[in-house]
Chain A
Amino acid sequence: MAEREVVFRVHRYRPESDRGPTYQDYRVPIRDDTVVLDALNHIKDTLDPTLTFRWSCRMGICGSCGMNVNGTPVLTCGVFVKDLRGGVVTVDPMANFPVLKDLVVEFDDFMRKLQGVKPFLIRKEDAPLSAGEYRQTPEQVEAYRQQSMCINCMLCYSACPVYSRTDHFLGPAASAIAYRYIKDSRDEGADERLGRISTKTGIWECTFVGECSVVCPKDVDPAAAIQSLKVLASMRHMRRILMPKSASR
């Protein structure tokens, strides 16, 4: 396989010594099957062991290798260098998050928001273990399958200009995951979750840019989930006005 060299312009930031971020160039030998993450590992293994970045599975499922490559948020294990345009490949940490070091961002904010939507089945009363598992038909699974594919990679947050400006916004993935549980026939927490996220800093902060769905590597379509949540929240609101007695969905 033919090899050639490509220049990688990599964002560096060492909090103990650097005042601000800088870029460092590395020449990396590339083959047709080299992905951006391979190139970063090549840099770390042979050129500069101080370069810091996150990764684990190398197969697009752990969601930890997200970075901005040539300005676009991607999973670096899923992007072939040969498919990138331009002579230089620029690698930045994911936008919209504080940077801890080099290409590593701090995402406590996302974890808090994820916890806030209660990403687990809520039951008014748990069935006893002896009753076995909660059963679902294939159609009932299909109702939330798309959103359940989320791997928490946060590329959608990195792409969202609303989150970029106002980081109190609940954001795409946490909303999509709330929707995933609301649509789950085993779950009984729809009313509670809708009440929680139907706020100005929740789903109503979204102005429907739609870029989250463009960058999502798992086709979760968080933009669609948020708009559907807006419809559900409005219906809940109307129901509360018209039929105050019957809460829940």
Chain B
Amino acid sequence: MLPWKRPAGWWLRNPRYFLFQMREVGGVFAALYALVLLWQLREFSQGELAYATFLAFMGTPGMFVVNAVMFAFVLVHAITWFALIGKAQPVQLTKEPIPWQKAFAGNLVAWVGISVVVLYLIFGGL
């Protein structure tokens, strides 16, 4: 009998496997970004000078690229999960299962809506 061996690079052989890997990696980047936020809070609590130093550091080109990459992966992570959400429906929640496109669109709309509210709360006063 010939035992099964998974080939290296299996996730490059199929675009859906690739997207799945990106979604999983996106989770790591989301966690990293949470750490950045915690760090920001800490510097904020350390007083004005510490916070100004933090902001200056975040404004350097290198950190801008790091943030952009993290943001891109967080977007991939969120959107690929929204696309899957419609699948997790034990039928008794609604009479007919909601088609995944509707669940996807609904989540996107809710997400954009909440983001707008958050942005308004933060920048609305300016």
Which residue of chain B has its CB nearest to the CB of A15?
B1
Q: Which of B106-126 contact A (CB under 8 A)?
A: none
Q: Which of B1-42 contact A (CB under 8 A)?
A: 1-4, 6, 10-11, 13-14, 16-17, 20, 24
Task: Report the separation of the CA atoms of residues A95 and B84 in the bound assembly, to the nearest whole angstrom.
Answer: 25
Is the beta-carbon distance between B1 and A214 smaller than 8 angstroms?
no
Question: Which residues of B sit under 8 angstroms from A228, Cβ to Cβ?
Answer: 87-91
Interface residues on B, range: 10 to 19
Task: Report the separation of the CA atoms of residues A60 and B2 in the bound assembly, to the nearest whole angstrom.
Answer: 27
Is the beta-carbon distance between A161 and B20 smaller than 8 angstroms?
yes
Q: Which of B13, B14, B90 has its CB near the most chain A CB atoms (within 10 A)?
A: B90
Which residue of chain B has its CB nearest to the CB of A11?
B2
Task: Report the separation of the CA atoms of residues A20 and B2 in the bound assembly, to the nearest whole angstrom.
Answer: 8
Q: Which of A193-218 contact B (CB under 8 A)?
A: 207-211, 213-214
Which residue of chain A has its CB nearest to the CB of B92?
A143
CB distance from B119 to the nearest CB of A (A): 30
Is the beta-carbon distance between B2 and A15 smaller than 8 angstroms?
yes
Is the beta-carbon distance between A96 and B87 smaller than 8 angstroms?
no
Given the interface pairs A106-B1, A207-B24, the reply to whether A164 lies near B91 with Cβ below 8 Å is: no
Question: Which residues of A sit under 8 angstroms from B87, Cβ to Cβ?
Answer: 208, 210, 213, 221, 223-224, 227-228
Question: Which residues of B sit under 8 angstroms from A232, Cβ to Cβ?
Answer: 90
25 contacts between A and B (CB under 8 A): A13-B2, A21-B2, A95-B4, A98-B1, A98-B3, A99-B1, A99-B2, A161-B17, A161-B20, A164-B10, A167-B4, A183-B91, A207-B24, A208-B84, A210-B16, A211-B17, A213-B87, A223-B87, A224-B89, A227-B89, A228-B87, A228-B88, A228-B90, A230-B88, A231-B88
